[in-house]
Chain A
């Protein structure tokens, strides 16, 4: 599904150059559940954003299915991103002005899904995540765990084949974190590929594979 070949990212500061990622090569198969771990500043989030196509200033080769992302225009990358990827953030990043329903509806509206179809898809997700009763609430009326639940619902509503999660339980207490990880496991069992960045070994235990990064290098893969 994903093939990375010598991915590098760096920043220039005058004459010097700081590398964030060095010659990162990896392969992720469909149905995989991968955790990216490592100390702060290791380049975990950067790698995740490259996978999510939020970052385009890097070198190397990135293949998603048969598509060479490194060769595509911004427009084509956006198209593929919409088609395949859902994103979950550590800080949930729900939009404060939108209700639960509207937050979940948002990715569908950006994919030009017809209104009637969207209504059906959002209703289905609300039901699956058991948050129908909360659909008209605003994010600030929800607990942290409920907000992350909504964020995951928003990430999966467009039926992505790949979910990228950046420390999805970082802001939650352990019970809530466990609940979210169980949810990821169920999604993975349903066939969705999941890549998460985490500091937590407990969370990493849910994954099938762990990639360890340090100073931008992959130091090992378990």
Chain B
């Protein structure tokens, strides 16, 4: 089976002096977010040969990448695109909800008033879970597994991505990929 289907690849950006320090810092972040993202808190970094074997993870990434290397940039870009898409998708649902429903209907997540809406709109609005979509736009959403992190928080804004990619003097931005079993 394709690795991408069995695992979600989370990417953590860290600022560090060297690769070794980057890996230590990255693993600290991963340990923390793993318990928020998964029930068992399991994640597999690419230097852990034993775990890679146990979970049959293809070792397709190096354990640490320079954020400015072509492979590092690609990993970060994919994570960023995923955040943008999730945001766009949720905002679209919120827009439709605000356009077609009253505040009371959204508050109650009450489908009674939906009689005159087309099936297509109903499906697009994600009723009756519309209030979850507001969280996705606000940044507190939990439904979507975020792929890109900096300092234990998912990157959901361009400005923050820029901060993550611009370390202070003497430090370098690295990216640590980790596989989370789906």
Same complex for A and B? Answer no
Name B's A-contacting residues (CB within 8 A).
Answer: none
